[in-house]
A and B are shown apart, each in its own frame.
Chain A
Amino acid sequence: MSSGNSNGHPAHLAHHFSDAAQQSESAKIGMWIFLLTEILLFAGLFVAYAVYRSANTEMFYNAHKHLDIHLGTLNTIVLITSSLTMALAIRSIQLNDRKKSIKLLAATFALAAVFLIVKYFEYSHKFDLGQLPGKFYTYTGIEGSNPHIFFSVYFMMTGLHGIHVIAGMIAISWVMRKTIQGKLSSEYYTPMELTGLYWHLVDMIWIFLFPLLYLIG
């Protein structure tokens, strides 16, 4: 609805805001509240994890050995690096260095893709072995009670997280496009900032998933 410069408003300023600061701060509060809802969405899975781990302690320990710790660590490194490139991309746009910003966004996007590819190999390996959630579980090599529950929890947590990675990639490509079109600059980069916040949250959730699933000591 921002038809533009009729009364000195910049193009990105919507009519019902009085100035750009009000608008960008509103957007950021909105984004943070959205992140809050995301955290509480995952909260349910963390609770489920805690409940079933406490009920099947031994099995969780045995089952986690069937996750590939190398791939898990690799993916952690990948996501952390992508968070760093995202943060630097925002820094570049703050300095009005559009080219560098685009490169860093591209790097972030690529790292996200690497993450998903690694996940794909992990998943397909588990599919082959029959280490599947719930009633599809057919593997027989894990001691302890109810190993299928471990894989229910594993697939739900990493699956929901994976969906968020995909959503993040869509958002990143969207701001990349905007930057290439020259719509973002040090004057106005709210979309990139919001995407960054979202991406860091995705990273943050993985930071917890990794030790909880792969590193049950």
Chain B
Amino acid sequence: MSGHSTQENRHIIPARTYIAVGVGLLLLTAVTVGVSFIHLEGWNAIAAVGIASVKALLVALIFMHLLYDKKIFLVIFSTAILFLGIFLALTMFDILSRGEIYPEYEKTIEKNAVMYKKAEPAPAAEPVEDSTSDVQ
């Protein structure tokens, strides 16, 4: 065994490409930091995740060779992202739509945790205190 047939499918990417991608990633970092200082309401989050996704894609396709390698690796990676998406989407769907059909269930919930109660002028004390009583 010598020479060929050792590491399959070897594709050597020029150093220039790697460096270009690296510089691109740094630039995108600058962009995302910059954008975060501009007030865009809900769009800030979308911009942040969008830019991060582009960066991640660059890392996956070039640094991790997904663009050049066997397609099976790309399939595995996409599967992971897809199922992460399913997990996130269906859970958030529940969280965001609670109380939608029967709005009367959407009572105001005491949002702040019991542990912050101490400072406020005593509302009817609840018997849940013990697990948090050591906290000020």
Nearest CB in chain B to that of A208: its residue: B52
The one of A81, A86, A187, A207 that contacts B7, using a Cβ cutoff of 8 Å = A187
Q: Are A217 and B70 in contact (CB under 8 A)?
A: no
Complex Cα distance A81/B91, Å? 35
Check if B18 is an interface residue, CB within 8 A of chain A.
yes
Given the contacts A204-B59, A215-B33, A217-B40, A91 and B6 also touching, CB distance less than 8 Å: no
Contacts of A212 in B (CB 8 A): 48-49, 52
How many residues on B have C-beta within 8 angstroms of the other chain's C-beta atoms? 66
Interface size class of A (residues with CB under 8 A): 35 or more
Q: Are B88 and A87 in contact (CB under 8 A)?
A: no
Q: Are A146 and B112 in contact (CB under 8 A)?
A: yes
Residues of B bordering A, CB below 8 Å: 1, 5-10, 12-13, 15, 18-19, 21-22, 25-26, 29, 32-33, 35-40, 44-45, 47-49, 51-52, 55-56, 59-60, 62-64, 69-70, 72-73, 76-77, 79-81, 83-84, 87-88, 91-92, 95-96, 111-113, 115-116, 131-132, 134-136
Q: Are B112 and A46 in contact (CB under 8 A)?
A: no
Nearest CB in chain A to that of B84: its residue: A43
Within 8 A of B (CB), among A148-163: 148
Given the contacts A211-B51, A212-B48, A135 and B77 also touching, CB distance less than 8 Å: no
B32, B39, B48, B63: most-surrounded residue (chain A CB, <10 A): B63
